[in-house]
Structure 1
């Protein structure tokens, strides 16, 4: 486990950014919408557009990974979640299942990669450092390192006192890439973990289905916490304001380009993502 602030000297520089927040109302019908938006925006960054920091939330969604979708009863488990009124999708980035709601902030750094040579460890540390620095008004205890038993586990889990509040993943395109994170700010980390655990139990089925221990995370709700629970952060809005101050202290935030609001081809991109990741195993 590593203190996030001790690793900041190793991180890559933060380029000038466009700060773009997708309104909650624009994502609530289908959680694929902001993911498809990022796919299109990433292509534009690959063509020379200014890098982007994208922030978005969703009122109620389960976003699963590629390996999760291959579990034997994943389609049935996904349908059960949809029937309960929660949006479900398979995301194009790495990682495993994550539960989203209004208390979870999603962040994506969309960066160019013209030489097709990136240092994901440095970029993961950069994202972890931004997230930890934004927490400093309430706590300086953020650490990175995998939290066993958490949902969407990884080497760059960000935690406070052994309980994870943030996970980081990445998505590559030909000439640009996305470093993406979820940050649980309000609400109960354990309740979200229980919902993910329920999905995995149903998607894996009984032992006769041939699912191995390593095929999906074994989620322990006690390993997850929100920043409200761990550090007394009062709201998503308060944390977002702190994050903006951190970003402004490191780089210039440029006016957002007009095309960010109305990206052409969003409906088609959503259909393509569903066809590629959701419907096919």
Structure 2
């Protein structure tokens, strides 16, 4: 584990950003919709549009990774959650299963990559640094390093006192890329982890002891926490305002181009993602 030094984020020059805070969707909205939006926005950034900071939430969703979808009973487990009113999708970026609700803020920094050269560790440190600096009004204890037992584990988990509140992943296109993160702000980290734990139990099924056990994260609900629980952050809105101040301290923030808010081909992109990452895995 290592401390997240906000100075690391401060020394990284951010380009001017389009800031798009999507309205909170209702439960009927497919959680794949904001991911399809990001695919289209990333293409536009690759063609020369200004970089984008995309913020969004969903009231009730499970977003899983490619490996999760390959578990033997994943389709049945996904359908069971859909029947319970939870939107489910397989995301195009890396990582594993994440439970979303109104208390979880999703952040995506969409940047150009004309030379097709990406420094994965620097980009993850940048996002972790921004997230930690936005937390500074309430806590300076953010650390990075994998939290064993967390859901969607990774080297750049962001935690406070050993409990994870944020995970970071990346999605690449030909001439642009997306650094994406979830930040649990309100509510119970343990309850979200328990929901992910139940999904994995259903998706993996009962495997005899003498057979190869499916490969998936073994979730320990005690490893997860929200920023309300860990640092007293009062609301998603308060954290979002702090994050905006952090961004504004090093880059100009522009309103999002209206052509991006309702881009052409959005429905088609959703269908293409579902066909590629869900139906035919």
CA distance in 1, matches of 2:191, 2:7: 31
* CA distance 1:265–1:20, shift in 2 (3 Å): same
**Structure 2 stretches of 5 or more lacking a match?**
none
CA deviations over 1:160-201 (Å, ceiling 9, x no partner): 000000000000000000000000000000000000000001
CA deviations over 1:6-49 (Å, ceiling 9, x no partner): 67169642111111011113785100000000000000000000
Alignment partner, residue 123 of structure 1: 123
TM-score, length basis structure 2: 0.96
TM-score, length basis structure 1: 0.96
Alignment partner, residue 212 of structure 1: 213
Contact 1:135 1:242 in 2 (8 A): yes
> After TM superposition, which residue ranges in structure 1, 4 or more long, deviate above 6 angstroms?
none
* CA distance 1:88–1:220, shift in 2 (3 Å): same
CA shift at 1:63, angstroms?
Answer: 0.2
CA distance in 1, matches of 2:262, 2:247: 25
CA shift at 1:202, angstroms?
Answer: 0.6
CA shift at 1:243, angstroms?
Answer: 0.3
CA shift at 1:256, angstroms?
Answer: 1.9
CA distance in 1, matches of 2:233, 2:97: 24
Q: How many residues were matched structurally? A: 280
CA distance in 2, matches of 1:102, 1:36: 20
Contact 1:90 1:274 in 2 (8 A): yes
* CA distance 1:198–1:9, shift in 2 (3 Å): closer
Alignment partner, residue 54 of structure 1: 54
CA distance in 2, matches of 1:240, 1:9: 17
**Structure 1 stretches of 5 or more lacking a match?**
none
Alignment partner, residue 30 of structure 1: 30
CA distance in 1, matches of 2:13, 2:73: 43
Alignment partner, residue 258 of structure 2: 258
